[in-house]
Structure 1
């Protein structure tokens, strides 16, 4: 599997270099014995006057920089002795698809060249090479670049990540790698850290970065996110596993958290203190199921986003236990300046019927508020896979939970084959939701996409029109399964005309364009 690590060239790497614009221009013809980083030979005297080599070093470096590839720049050594070693002083060093042995030699040459450290060291290694990742990272640390980018794959599960004394930005994408840190040492200049497809003990790493401002961990392959930083301002987490959270970041302004496998709240597994956060996005898997609406509904996921939090002091985000009591040991404190203008957040819920798995001990209300800032969202977005079942009761139930909703968006599955479930289905039991009086004093807009005009759908719209006393706009997009001549279209138009104060738009899509059935402005 492995290519000859000691070889100067590798046919697989060369093939990939030929596909890369930055490397293609610097490849020598096959059969050339020129090695990276130095060229053997070159002793023959030039037959003609070399005016190009007479240019100052800074001009020559600009020419080499235009190649955008350290390998291509090193190959200019064949032109004249004057060019030798210049490439090692480039401000941007890019090594793509280079075998390990010549790469190590190149990094050693750069480290020994002296002068200013490169602003960027970009390393992209092919996965078929045998590689000593620890020695590679040590060689990169010796170069001390202002910014380090490493994209590779190696099988070592425990690789020491050296401390970079002068590097301000580190981006490492190394599949399946686990990093350890030396017993002592810090990253004194590090401001931006991006760790992808790998893992390290963040409880040990982050305190060693006193100037860290931006931190992102896409495809995080560990079960814990422990971050305590007084300087951190932006943070992004995309977790591959169910995680515990322990984040204390008083200066944090932007947080993006995607816990696609859920959050483990057992034994104190949740703590988040971010009193300065302004921009919050929160995605989390849910387990709650309910049989209270005739058929079983499961809440699959919950997403919340807000660009500015409520301006009224401190807001508590608490985990709710199974009895609906707040567990004060697990809470998130978020505050925002009273000078800020409040912007309502968006709460998105994904629900589906006919799902057997889930946690019946937690209600939908507990799931919604388990990790949410209470009354901080003005938009409720429901993505419903109803499988043809009646969904009016669950929509009204969720509106009753989210009492501050100003805009309701209901997204229905337009590609469902059947219009309705079987005749004796219990999905409409109990059916007293049609006569329900629910307080919707804040609801101003309703939008439904994938509407089929079934009787229960029309009944839901009637309840919303009746209870939402300040309703301003209703937008309905019919499903692709409904034709414009369908009597259900005319029926809906007649219902909406009874509310002249409400602006209405009822339409369907034809060749990607909106065709209006009813438009009341």
Structure 2
């Protein structure tokens, strides 16, 4: 029996509708295969406004771009998988970038995989006159910007890989609003990450996946509104000139096993985070006591933290992993930093204990004799909260010092640890400061001073 075949109504559709159907594939390679449907579909993909190559061998890409005859490409996306990428070839990569630039896309996404045990190659960045958004992701390229290359329409730039110097690139982007840098490394043994832009509104720097080689971080952005930074480093010089910044998330982690780790006595600095919200900013510091610290008593600890105070804050949150050691000396060393003294309105201390109770050996350097008689001016401090209070003698000494140094203190909250037992000693201390609202939490139950004195008397 002969099967009746009706007319080909799909191929009879206008080219504009056929292009919409092909564009739904979101892949130029699949779009090219539609030519097997009918001879008039052949070459239809070359007129697409969005050209996406996700699984095309590197050697075929330049020839494929040569077939595109659309002068109004809105998106050009090239993502080469590792198995489709040969050994790095500077001439081949440069030629491919030039072919991409000839299409003058409005948005460019260009991603090449890195190769293990492969040396990086230098590649000149081509000129993309119409591009408003560029995303370059490659761990094998040192991207250089030749003289005279600029990007007059560029508003969003994302870079992952290696850049010798950002200044030539950013100076050619007069309309740049958003810059994202991820896993950036510098060539020529340079040790500075410098971002200088008069138009930048948002900057994101994410170096959290690798130990940064940058010893200097220099940001000059007079109209910057939002700054997000995350990196792992030690002994970094930081300079941020962003007078109009409104929203900040600044996160620096420290390797506690590195010889250059930042220490104060037995305490090692683990993390510093500064973030600002609409109404207030918060500085968060995490430190851990370790018997393997170098016992340095210098000002390095406080100076390192001061580097990260790039925006105003009113809340200080301390995460202290005491491991059985005294933390009063460390706290007053930190609270004595001038900017903390003047700015801090609220102090929150979170004491994390080890599972196994440790005892300080005789003469342990965690408890120098001077800190109990230390006096600092906490002139702005209004509220204090301490979580994990165990009732040790040095903890009571710390409470007394805070009361003495904070004349405007309005509220003190102490949350006892599960192992701690409520005693009248803490309430007697609170009772001596009747002008301050004092509360104690024990086993999820709240006690005011007067309730506690009547309960435990």
Q: TM-score range by the shorter chain?
A: 0.7 to 0.9
1:133 aligns with 2:93: yes
Aligned: 1:279 with 2:243: no
Give, in whole Å, the separation in 2 of the partners of 1:487 and 1:82: 82
- TM-superposed deviation, 1:141: 1.5
Q: How many residue pairs were aligned? A: 416
Pairing 1:74-223 to 2, within 5 Å after superposition: 74-110=32-68, 113-117=69-73, 119-128=74-83, 129-130=85-86, 132-154=92-114, 155=118, 156-222=120-186, 223=191
Q: Comparing 455-464 with 128-137, which one deviates more in the overlay?
A: 455-464
Q: Which residue of 1 aligns with 2:215?
A: 243
Partner of 2:352: 413
Residues 238/392 of structure 1: CA separation in 2 closer, same or farther (3 Å cut)? same
Change (3 A) 1:83 1:234: same
Q: TM-score, normalised by structure 2?
A: 0.79
Is the 1:242–1:260 Cα contact (8 Å) retained in structure 2?
A: no
Q: Map 1:11-410 onto structure 2 (within 5 A).
A: 48-110=6-68, 113-117=69-73, 119-128=74-83, 129-130=85-86, 132-154=92-114, 155=118, 156-222=120-186, 223-239=191-207, 240-262=212-234, 264-265=236-237, 271-284=239-252, 288-291=262-265, 296-307=266-277, 343-354=279-290, 355-356=292-293, 361-370=298-307, 372-373=309-310, 376-401=312-337, 402-403=340-341, 404-410=343-349
1:45-90 CA-partner distances (Å, limit 9, x unpaired):
x954110111222222222222222222222111112322222233
**Kindly tell me: are residues 256 and 434 of structure 1, through their superposed partners in 2, closer, same or farther at Cα, counting changes over 3 Å?**
same
After superposition, the Cα gap between the structure-2 partners of 1:407 and 1:271, relative to the gap in structure 1 and judged at 3 Å, is closer
| Contact kept? 1:289, 1:362, Cα under 8 Å | no
Q: 1:474 aligns with which of 413, 433, 437?
A: 413
CA distance in 1, matches of 2:157, 2:235: 23
1:488 aligns to 2:421 (yes or no): yes
CA deviation vs aligned residue, 1:3-44 (integer Å, no higher than 9, x gap):
xxxxxxxxxxxxxxxxxxxxxxxxxxxxxxxxxxxxxxxxxx
Residues 440, 97 of structure 1: alpha-carbon distance in 2 compared, 3 angstrom cutoff:
same
Q: Distance in 2 between matches of 1:359 and 1:143?
A: 60
In structure 2, relative to structure 1, the CA distance for the partners of 1:454 and 1:108 (3 Å cut) is: farther
- Whole-angstrom CA distance in 2 between matches of 1:459 and 1:488: 18
Give the distance between the partners of 1:101 and 1:378, measured in 2 at CA.
57
Query: Whole-Å Cα distance in 1 between the matches of residues 30 and 370 of structure 2?
Result: 75
Which residue, 417, 420, 424 being the options, matches 2:362? 424
Q: Distance in 2 between matches of 1:104 and 1:441?
A: 67
* Cα drift, residue 190 of structure 1: 1.2
Once the two structures are TM-superposed, the CA of residue 302 in structure 1 deviates from its matched residue by: 3.0
Structure 1 position 390, deviation (Å): 0.8
Question: Does the CA-based 8 Å contact 1:224-1:244 persist in structure 2?
Answer: yes
Whether the 8 Å contact between 2:286 and 2:318 is mirrored in structure 1 is yes
Report if aligned partners of 1:196, 1:218 keep a CA contact under 8 Å in 2.
yes
| 1:284 Cα deviation from its structure 2 partner | 4.2
Q: 1:57 to 1:392 in 2, by over 3 A?
A: same
Give the unaligned 5+ runs of structure 1. Answer: 1-45, 309-342, 509-515
CA distance in 2, matches of 1:264, 1:422: 33
Alpha-carbon distance change, 494 to 161 in structure 1, aligned in 2, over 3 angstroms: same
Instruction: Identify unmatched segments of 5+ residues in structure 2.
Output: 255-260, 450-457
User: Is residue 274–residue 308 contact of structure 2 (8 Å, CA) maintained in 1?
Assistant: no
Corresponding residue SS for 1:158: strand
Q: Name whichever of 489-498 and 138-147 sits farther off.
A: 489-498
Q: TM-score, normalised by structure 1?
A: 0.70
Structure 1 residue 193 displacement after superposition: 0.9
Q: 1:388-415 CA deviation, whole Å, 9 max, x = no partner? A: 201123223322332221222223334x
Contact 1:281 1:305 in 2 (8 A): yes
